[in-house]
Structure formats: structure tokens, C-alpha cells
Structure 1
Amino acid sequence: MAKQWWKESVVYQIYPRSFCDSNGDGIGDLNGVTGKLDYLKELGIDVIWLSPVYRSPNDDNGYDISDYEDIMEEFGTMEDFDRMLAAAHERGIKIVMDLVVNHTSDEHQWFVESRSSLDNPKRDYYIWREPVDGHEPNNLGSCFSGSAWEFDETTGMYYLHCFSKKQPDLNWENETVRQEVFDMMTRWCEKGIDGFRMDVISMISKPEGLPDGPLMENSIYGEPMSVCNGPHVHEYLREMNQKVLSKYDIMTVGECAGVTIDEAKKYANAEGTELNMVFQFEHVGLDVDGNGKWCDKKFDLPQLKKVLSKWQNELYEVAWNSIYFCNHDQPRIVSRLGNDSDEFRVRSAKCIGTMIHMMQGTPYVYQGEELGMTNQQFNSVDDFDDIEAINAYHELKEMNIFSEEELMARICYKNRDNARTPMQWDDSANAGFTTGEPWLAVNQNYTKINAKDELADADSVFHYYQKLIALRKSHDIIVYGKYDLLMPEDAHIFAYTRTYGDEKLLVVCNFSEEPQKFVVPEGYDLEKAELLIHNMDKAVQDGMADGFEAMAWYWKK
């Protein structure tokens, strides 16, 4: 297996709006990021994935871009960006930009021109269709509820938007569109950035003829994910690779909704003709019920083990994994898979970290995950900022499927604002995030969970993550070793081995509150092993793990 710097790196995602506010306007900014680079250096991460900072009207918190080569005023200026990039590089930290090119904002100049007339040169930059019997061209729904088609009075046609109606989809079949995107990417690479995280990149090639999609649960609309992995997506990415990506020593990861193992092997193939790795969502989509995402169901551990193990084993030596639980779209994992009570929060946060960071692939840490930050308590729909959650609340309320109490519980548990509450830096007002009024309410538990306290506590979640990251840098087996699952049907223990030449690793994580027995596999003598990491302060018991206990043993012949 070829060694690469991006395989050995640990990536830290920053959601700039919520990270650190330097000027007191209540919104995080680029200078706030620059001011916290030493904190990230101490944590030990190698790469920052920066969520969008481009000019945007903020219909979807920056994922609706009106100018790819300017900075959103709230975040600062291009000079601020350049200063941040230089400061990160001085500390040995790379910067990966979020690339959102499935769609733009409807305020992007391309779309302003495209919608202006039928014969405008940029008309074909987007996907336009005539009405069918006075209605939408097909049944496709938006990921943010409602139809994926919006009627435009100016030309009497519909345009496609798989997300908000202010996020029209680009027409990647247009060669000029592709070249515009490639030229823009090249200019960013020439500026010195270190790679791209590509938003919903699996959606850029739409199915031939744009047929109806299968109906979504509790909806009259077709599944928007039915446009994923279209007929030309690999062709477009190979073209992107040839014209841009292969010319620079950068890292690329594609957010690939609806991706299968077979498709992932193409996107992230070992030959490097497309991307370095993909984000797949199968594992984070397991805690759903018959009503889809909006539920408060807990993960089934054997099912989670089966899915994660499938991706570990089937991509081994064929393609590269990205390993994660948290990002700006996912509720806090310690509240979903762990236990965020005072008794178990710290221990379960460390347990989850151990399980994921000892796997094969490039690990991603989302801001606050290294502190064990939890879900927020929302009291009403008025507390939400997330457009997906707000739309879902009103749509489900109209359907009258749930009581008000049950509906709020479901949306509170799964909405994206859980990940977007401001970073908890200390126990001062607004968690030290801002001296002004924060754009989104700070989690009420910031006086108990914050970076200042955790930096001062050698037994904190922060210092545990610091150790996990350091171990990956000092042990190739953690990066490159082969993965094998143990005890697949056990409902509480997640245990697996890694092997790499004459090295062996045994990882055991108990995901219950009670002690559990585990089986030490033959050939793994704990008395001859080095205990690499352990989230408890008591001696290890052979074959027994306490509630949310996690441990990793290492052998070398």
C-alpha cells in the first residue's frame, strides 16, 4: 500500500461561523481561526477542513455561493484569509477548502444571467425544463423539503435545485461550466491551499432524461438522492483530476451521498485518477426509523459494526477510507452513540474516539468533538436556524403524524444546529466565543464543558484525543494495518484487530453502562502487550471491560 501524507494525517473540520469571533459581531470569522491555530497545533492535527467562507447570501450557511473567489463579509477579507493560510503553514497545518460546485447561489452572476433570458450565453449553465401539464417537470423532491423545481416567471420555465430554491444546480453536461469550475479551482491551488473537500460531488451528473424518483417516506415527492452517482460522474472527476488535481500535491475528499462500495472504489481508487477518499453515510444513517431521519432511535451496535467493517475490509488496498462520526450536518456523536450524562460523558466520548481513531483511514475531528461537546436543548422551532429542520418541522406538523411533543423531540435530537452551536472555549459569557450576541445560542453546559478547563485537566477528552492523534503518527499499523472484526453479534462490545507485518493491535470498546466480558483472540497475550491507550484509571482486567471502557493493546515480534 503506497504511503501518502494525507493517509497519515488527522483532519480537523472548522465551521467558521461557530468557531471563534474576533470582532464581537456574534459570528465566527477568519481572524478567529487564526487566533486559535496554536490550540489546534497543541491538539496535534495536520489539516484543517474549512467549511465555506466564500461570498454568500447565507441561505444555507455559506453552502450557497455567490462568488467563489471572494470572502463573505462576515468572515473578513481575502487579506485575512491569506494571513490565516500563511499562519497555518508556519505551524505545519494544511488548509483544505470546501468546494461547493453541484450548485451555486441564485445570486451568483452566472445564474443572474442564466435566468435573464432564453438566449443568454449562460442559460445552459443551469438545468432548465419546460412545465409538464402546467406543473413541475418531474416529481423530484428537494433535500430541504418540497419540490426540487422552482418556476421562474422571467422565462416561464422551471430550474432544478436539489437543495434550497436559492441553490440552483449547475449543468455539468456543459463543457464551459466544467472549465469555469476547473479554472477557479486552479486559481485556489495557485494561492497555496492544500486540497478540497467536495460538497455532494456525487450529484453533479444527473440521470439521463431526469426521470421521476422513488417516493420518499411520508412525502409526495421523489427521492432527491436518486440523482446521485449519475452516468458521467466519474468521467467528470477524471477530467477534473487530469486538468487540476494531479498537478498539485493536495488532498481531496468527496462527500458522496448514496455511494456504494463499488462506486467508492471508483471515486477513491488507488491509482489516483479521481479523488483520494470519500465520505460515505451508511454508518451515520443507521439510527433511523420508518419515518426517516427525524427520530430519536439509538444505534444498533451489531448493525453499526457490520457496516463499518464492510467499508474497512472491502476498501482495503483498493481505495482509501475517511473515518468520522461528526461534521456540520451530524448531531453530536456523544449524544447519539455514547451517553452524555455527567457520569458517562467523558468516558463515552473517549470510547467513541478510541473506536474510530484506531481504524484504517484518515480520521476527521469536528470542532468540539475533542472536548466531548453534546447536543443542545432546543425549546421551540423558533430556536432553530437550520433550514432543513425548520422545513421538516412545518411539513411534518402539517401531516399530523406526531404530537407536538414527539415532533419537537425528534427534530431536536437530529437537527444540524446541534453541531453548529458555538465552540465552547471557556466558562465566561457566551463560552468565550464572542463578546457580542452569538448568531446561535451557546449550549447551556459550556461552564462544565470548555477548552480552558480541558487543557488544564490531564485526564480530559482533549488530552485523550491528543494522545490518539500522537499514536497514529508513531504507529504505522494504525494507519495501514489490516482490520478484522471480533464478536460481530455482541450487542455491547466493539472489538477488532489490526495487523501490519509483525505488528498486532487489539482494540476493545464497551458501548454499555455495565461491565461486559470480551474474548481475547488466540495469539493475543495481554501480559506480553503494551497498553497503548486506555480511558480508565484502574488496572486492566483480562477479558472484562467496565462501562464505556476502551483500550488498545500493541504487540511487535
Structure 2
Amino acid sequence: MREWQKETVYQIYPRSFQDSNGDGIGDINGIISRLDYLQKLGIGLIWLTPMYRSPGNDNGYDIADYYQIDPVFGTMEDFENLLNEAHKRNIKIIMDMVLNHTSNENHWFQEALKSKDNPYHDFYIWKDPVDGHEPNNWVSKFSGSAWKYVPELDQYYLHLYDVTMPDLNWRNEKLRNKIFKMLKYWAAKGIDGFRLDVINNISKAKDMPDDTFATPLDDGRNFYTNGPHVHEYIHEMYEEVFGPHNFVTVGELSSTPISEAIKYTNPKRQELSMAFTFHHVKVDYTNGNKWTLGQYKLSDLTRILSEWQVKMNAHGGWNALFWNNHDQPRAISRFTNDTKYRDQSAKLLAMVEFGLQGTPYIYQGDEIAMKNAYFTDIKQYNDHESINAYNELIDNGVDKNKAIKILQQKSRENARLPMQWNSQPNYGFTTGQPWLKPLHHDDYSVEKVLKMKNNVFDFYRALIFLRKHKQILINGQYKLLNSQDNSVYSYERINNKGKILVMANFTDQVQERKIATGFDLLLGNYEGIELNNETVTLRPYESVMLEK
């Protein structure tokens, strides 16, 4: 067992975590001021989303300078102080790194624009027009064509994401060497690993053909997702950086089948520590389309989770377990009940996650049951993806009220609300005007939750403790019980010393289920839980973890 397999990761979105200087944007010194809180929670690693110098067109995932901390977050001295203070508390730091693309303000791209002969031109992916049009029909993740024409060069550059984020050309060995040098710079600072953004997109098919558009997923991704040399490139990074520095690495692997995720994370291949995959959080996409008012079936959700559990375990892969992150709406609003059964729902989701095999991730605010923003006007949104999606919905004839409801359900801005610390204005996040308007109709905060009996925060602490001390949660085999159940998710973890049973009622109705005898209660999200012979009665959104 590797040490990080029993630890819990806490994801911080710095812009929204804690502001220390009143400018309305969270910063490094704000994070430092909350390290004792995170130590109390019991987490072992922090994942920081990007804090490099950036114009902010994609909230930091458009990097203008890989070597500089963006002044909005602080200084390099502040960052070094954060590293030191975290390490004093036995908390490791994982930095987010974007290697598929840069900002168009990056020095490399500014040089690439000067001429086709410039040595940096080949750091990016350029194609000549085809019959006066784009080189192929690939679609940007941010909507529209994935190509941008530059008249001065009579060429298009590829941008799988925002038009201001040109894709890097990993076929260029000089680029790869520049990247390895930069990664080693951060390793020398003393960081403990990387979360690698959209890393499975870095290798594109050489001929870059048109996609078929037979389904909403045939938008070009068939020719750049898990491309021809991606494993080769990541192994090269392992040999150059990850292995020598004993890094914890997690790859964001959207649209990746289990067979590929196993390749990325089987330690024998020397690539990544674990995989972020997203099939389970696309379960409410209607016919694969995100921007719909989607509904989900619990049996679909459990089938997906179970398939990944069984196959990754069988072939040496390792999952990163999560419900929420900076790109996902809050699961408590999406899959459970964030009003009447808010506390029970938050605890249920936590228990289901922590009972699975993999490394659990807590996204800031999960531990106090933060919920979706429920913004009512497009003017409240900052996120380019959400605004573009809204405009596209309107252009396609969707009325404004429905378009807003879709964003209320699916926008990633839901996860980017400022952290709710106390009962002061703006929840104590800032003394100034927050960059994103917080909710003013929600009375939940760290201050309030910590005063509550049997609160969500302490429930997470208990789960983190169990992960560290129950070997069965690390190495136990996974078994789904009743795959057709659309009300209760029941699964077992089994090893040669015993068995753990997790049961979670995803409905607002009382549910009864039969179980084998001999189980004792390990943890539950209600008070007064009783086991009655071979039956468990689960109240609305009740979850139990049983052991024998």
C-alpha cells in the first residue's frame, strides 16, 4: 500500500476560499490562515487549482507564465510560506498544472504569432486553411469551432477550449523539454505532486480528420482523447519528474474508458498515481448532452460506479473518488436533497464516497453541506462556459427561464461560490466586494455547522479516521448488491478479515432492506439507528456503514 492511498485530499479553489486583503478574491495568505481548520478536519493533502499568472479567461487554467504566482493570489514568498506551513502540519501540497494548452498571452504563443519560422511557432498546433475553411470540423469544449484563423500567418491554430487558450504541440521534443524543466522548477520548490488538467488530450491524431457527429460525443474527441502517444509522454514525465520526486499525481481523464484508466494508473507502467474520471457525474446528461434539465436513475449511477470499482481493482488501477470539484455543480443539489434533508444528504454522499476503493477528495464546502448557487439572472455568472451555453440555448429557441434553470442545475459556477465561514457579511470570505456574489439566503457556515450536534464536519472527520485505520477500505474487494435498486445503493467491501456493508437511501421515503445477520453499526448519518435481525429500515436519505 502506498501512503497516499489511505489519505484524503481537500481541493481548494483559491479564488473562492479565503480573502486576506479585502480585494474580494481569495489568496494564498487566506489559505494559510485556514490551515489549522484543515488540519482539524484530518486531511492529508491539498489540491490547489491554478495560481499562476493568467488573464483569467478560464479562471487560471489559461496560464500566461508557468513560473510566476499571479499577483492577485500573492507572491512567490507567500507560496513558499504556504508550503512550509502546510508541511509543518503534515499536509502535502498538490499543484494544478495545465499542459494541454496555454494562454494566448503566454510568451511562447506571442513568439509563435510572429512568423512561421519562429522557433516557438511549432510549440502550438497550426494548420493551413482547407478550401478557405477550418482544417476540420472539431468543436471547442467552450462551443463553436476549435480553430482560430490568424490572417497575418494565413493559418489556423487549434484551441480545444477557449479561443484564448491555444493547444500545445507535444510532438515537438523541444516543447516537451521546456515543460520538463518547468515541472522540475516546482519540484525544487518542495511541492508534493501535480493534478494534471485534461492530460489525456495532449496527443492528437497526426492527420486530424473530421469527426462524424453521429452522437453528441463525436465532436473531434475521437481523435485527441487518449491519443496515440499520450502514455509515452506521461511515462516520460514520470521518468523525468514524478518518479525521482516521489510525487502524487492525478490525471483528469474525461471521456476515458476503464481500459485506458488502468493503463494510466497501474504502478507497473509508471505513469500516474490515480485517475479523475467523470462518467458518474454525467449520469444526468440527456442523451449525452450536458445542457439539459436532466434526471438520473440511481441504478445507472451505481452501475457506473460499480463497473469502475470492480475493473480498476482487478487490474491494478486506482480511482480518485469525488462528487464535487470546481467544474461540477454541487452533488447535494443534484443527486439528493439540499433543503429538508440537507445534513443527511451531505453525510450520505460522503459515506458512499469514502466506502469505495480509491483516494477520496473533499471539495471546499462539502464538509459543511454547501449547495448550488441557484442564480436567477445570467448577469450573475462569470463563467465563460456557462454564459456561452446560455446564449446557445437561447439561440436554439429555449426560453430564458428554462435556460436559467438548466444553468442552476449544471453550471460549474455553482461550485465556485465563496466559502461560507461565518455569519459576517459575505460569510467572512472577504471584507470587500466578492468576485462572485455569494448566497445571501443560506444560513449555513463553518461557524454554524461546527456548533451543531452530530454535524457534517465531524462526520467527515470520522470517515477520514476510518479510511486511515480500516485496511479493508483500502484493499477490500467491492461487490454491488441489487443492481436494479433505484432507491437504495448497497455495496460491500470484503477482505479475508471481514466485511463492510454500506447502504444509502437516495429517496425521501422510508425504505426497508434485508441484510445478512452478524453486522454491527460502524457509522450512520442519523441518531438512534437500530438493526432489527435481518432487516434495516432506512429513513429518508439515511445511510449506514455496517461491519462484521
Q: What TM-score does the superposition give when structure 1 sets the normalisation length?
A: 0.96
**Aligned residue for 1:494?**
489
Query: Residue 292 of structure 1 aligns with which residue?
Result: 289
Structure 2 counterpart SS, 1:154? coil
Given candidates 537, 540, 544, the residue that maps to 1:547 is 540
Q: CA deviation at 1:441?
A: 0.6
Letter in structure 1 aligned against 2:246 = D
Distance in 1 of aligned mates of 2:244 and 2:216: 47
RMSD: 1.4
For 1:245 and 1:113, the matched residues in 2 are separated by 29
In structure 1, what is the equivalent of residue 426 of structure 2?
A: 430
After superposing the two structures, state which structure 1 stretch, 538-547 or 262-271, moved more.
538-547
The aligned runs of 1:248-267 (5 Å cut-off) are 248-267=245-264
Which of 13, 16, 19 is the aligned partner of 1:15? Answer: 13
**1:218 & 1:327 partners in 2: Cα distance?**
24
Instruction: Find the aligned partners of 1:109 and 1:470 in 2 and give their Cα distance.
Output: 46
- 2:28 alignment partner AA: L
- The CA deviation at 1:180 is 0.8
Q: Distance in 2 between matches of 1:280 and 1:319?
A: 12
Deviations 1:181-210 (A, max 9, x none): 111111111111000000000000001211
Matched, 1:398 2:395: yes
Residue 120 in structure 1 maps to residue 118 in structure 2 = yes
Partner residue in 2 for 1:82: 80
CA 432–517 in structure 1, closer or farther in 2 if over 3 Å, else same: same
Could you tell me how far apart the structure 2 residues matched to 1:225 and 1:114 are? 27
Deviation of 1:515 after TM superposition, in Å, equals: 0.9
1:156 Cα deviation (Å)?
1.5
* Cα distance change of structure 1 residues 226 and 547 upon mapping to structure 2, 3 Å threshold: farther
5 Å-filtered alignment, 1:96-245, equals 96-215=94-213, 222-224=219-221, 226-245=223-242
Structure 1 residue 322: Cα displacement:
1.0
The one-letter code matched in structure 2 to 1:128 is W
1:552–1:291 Cα change, 3 Å: closer
Counterpart selection for 2:415 from 416, 419, 439: 419
Contact 2:209 2:223 in 1 (8 A): no
Q: Distance in 1 between matches of 2:486 and 2:223?
A: 33
- Report the secondary structure of 1:379's partner residue: coil
CA distance in 2, matches of 1:225, 1:351: 36
Report the CA distance between 1:146 and its aligned residue: 0.6
1:481 matched to 2:479 = no
Question: Of 528, 534, 538, which residue of structure 2 is paired with 1:538?
Answer: 528
Letter in 2 for 1:77: T
Task: Summarize the alignment of residues 372-387 of structure 1 with structure 2, pairs less than 5 Å apart.
Answer: 372-387=369-384
Letter in structure 1 aligned against 2:120: K
Q: 1:306 and 1:71, CA in 2 relative to 1: closer, same or farther beyond 3 A?
A: same
Give the partner amino acid of 1:552.
M
Q: Deviations over 1:290-323 (max 9, x none)?
A: 4710123232100111100000000115111111
Distance 1:255 1:291, change over 3 A: closer
Q: Is 1:347 the counterpart of 2:344 in the alignment?
A: yes
Residue aligning to 2:317 = 319
| Partner SS, residue 233 of structure 2 | helix
After TM superposition, give the deviation of residue 476 of structure 1 in Å. Answer: 1.1
What corresponds to 1:356 in structure 2?
353
Q: Gaps spanning 5+ residues in structure 2: where?
A: none
Contact 1:216–1:223 at 8 Å: present in 2 too? Answer: no
Candidates 298, 301, 313, aligned match of 1:301:
298
The one-letter code of the counterpart of 1:289 is T
What whole-Å deviation, never above 9, does each CA across 1:392-449 have from its counterpart, x for those lacking one? Answer: 111221121x222111111221011100010000111001000000000102244x21
Structure 1 distance, partners of 2:73, 2:378, is 27
Corresponding letter in the other structure for 1:510:
N
Q: What count of residue pairs does the alignment treat as equivalent?
A: 544
* Structure 2: distance between partners of 1:513 and 1:105: 46
Specify the SS of the correspondent of 1:143: coil
Q: What letter corresponds to residue 429 of structure 1 in structure 2?
A: P
Name whichever of 458-467 and 350-359 sits farther off. Answer: 458-467
Query: What amino acid is the match of 2:418?
Result: P
Question: Where in structure 1 do 4 or more consecutive aligned residues deviate above 3 Å?
Answer: 216-219, 223-226
Letter in 2 for 1:549: E
Q: Distance in 1 between matches of 2:490 and 2:433?
A: 45
Aligned mates of 2:220, 2:370 — CA distance in 1: 33
Q: Does structure 2 retain, via aligned residues, the 8 Å contact 1:255–1:279?
A: yes
Opposite residue 279 of structure 2, the aligned amino acid is E
* Matching residue of 1:408: 404
Aligned counterparts of 1:449 and 1:147: Cα–Cα separation in 2: 42
- Give the AA of the match of 1:538: G
Out of 449, 459, 464, the position equivalent to 2:444 is 449
Q: Which amino acid aligns with 2:461?
A: Q
2:484 is paired with a residue whose SS is: coil
Q: Give the AA of the match of 2:449.
A: E
TM-score by length of 2: 0.97
Tell me the SS of whatever aligns to 1:247: coil
Q: Distance in 2 between matches of 1:371 and 1:296?
A: 26
Alpha-carbon shift at residue 487 of structure 1 (Å): 1.4
Alpha-carbon distance in 2 for matches of 1:417, 1:495:
32
Contact 1:225–1:258 (Cα < 8 Å) also in 2: no
Work out the percentage of aligned pairs sharing the same amino acid.
44
- Using a 3 Å threshold, how does the CA distance of structure 1 residues 271 and 458 change in structure 2: closer, same or farther? farther
**Which SS does the other structure have where 1:162 is aligned?**
coil
Q: Is the CA contact (8 Å cut-off) linking 1:195 and 1:250 kept in structure 2?
A: yes
For 1:225 and 1:498, locate their aligned partners in 2 and report how far apart those are by CA, in whole Å: 35
Instruction: Check whether the contact 1:102–1:201 (CA below 8 A) recurs between aligned residues.
Output: yes
CA contact (8 A) 2:208 2:223 kept: no
Q: What displacement does 1:213 show?
A: 2.0
Whole-angstrom CA distance in 2 between matches of 1:350 and 1:90: 30
> What is the CA deviation profile of residues 7-48 of structure 1, one whole-angstrom value per residue up to 9, with x for unaligned ones?
111000000000000000000000000000000001100000
More deviation, 406-415/159-168: 406-415
Deviates more, 1:540-549 or 1:511-520: 540-549
Instruction: Indicate whether 1:519 and 2:517 are aligned.
Output: no
In structure 2, what is the Cα distance between the partners aligned to 1:66 and 1:485? 46
- Give the stretch that moved more between structures: 18-27 or 225-234: 225-234
